[in-house]
Amino acid sequence: MERKRIEGTDYVVEFDPGKNCVNFRGELSLGGPQEYSPIRELLEAVAEEEPENMTINLRELHFLNSSGISMLSKFVIGLRKRKKIQLTILGSEEIPWQKKSLKNFQKFLPGLKLEIS
């Protein structure tokens, strides 16, 4: 898949094909599942190609509302069916919400690698 970028007023979500990584930056608090669907579709499109490794980098995402957490959770659940993909989620110690909420993703997908540093 080619490089792809979704940009809003306070956020950027960008797929880096070299690293098979989706980078999230800024603050995300869209209104609900419908508003999040372009981002979810981007994640699904990466997973569709069944890469061995896929990374979601949240280290520069300073805010995420529950609709966003829910969208990511549902994407993570969807990966149970794609056993070939090793998903890694990168988080930051410096961003308080990540220390509180990222661990939940592992409950949905025990094989998920969570790297908070």
CB-based burial label for 111 (10 Å; 0-12, 13-18, 19+): exposed
Distance in angstroms (rounded) separating the CA atoms of residues 66 and 96: 15
Amino acid (one-letter) located at 24: F
User: Which candidate, 68, 55, 53, 54, places its Cα nearest to that of 98?
Assistant: 68
Structure tokens at 96: 């308080």
Interface with another protein (CB under 8 A), residue from 12, 16, 21, 73: 73
Select the residue interacting with another protein from 1, 77, 113, 115 (CB under 8 A): 77
Q: Contact between 25 and another protein (CB under 8 A)?
A: no
- Residues facing residue 81 across a β-bridge: none
Work out which of 37, 38, 45, 53 binds another protein, going by CB under 8 A: 37
Does position 42 bind another protein by CB under 8 A?
A: no
Asked if 26 interacts with another protein (CB under 8 A), we say: no
Q: Work out how close the CB of 54 gets to another protein at its nearest, in angstroms, rounded to a whole number.
A: 18
- Binding footprint of another protein on the chain (CB under 8 A): 9-10, 27, 29-34, 36-37, 40, 63, 65-67, 69-71, 73-74, 77-78, 95-97, 100-101, 104, 107-108
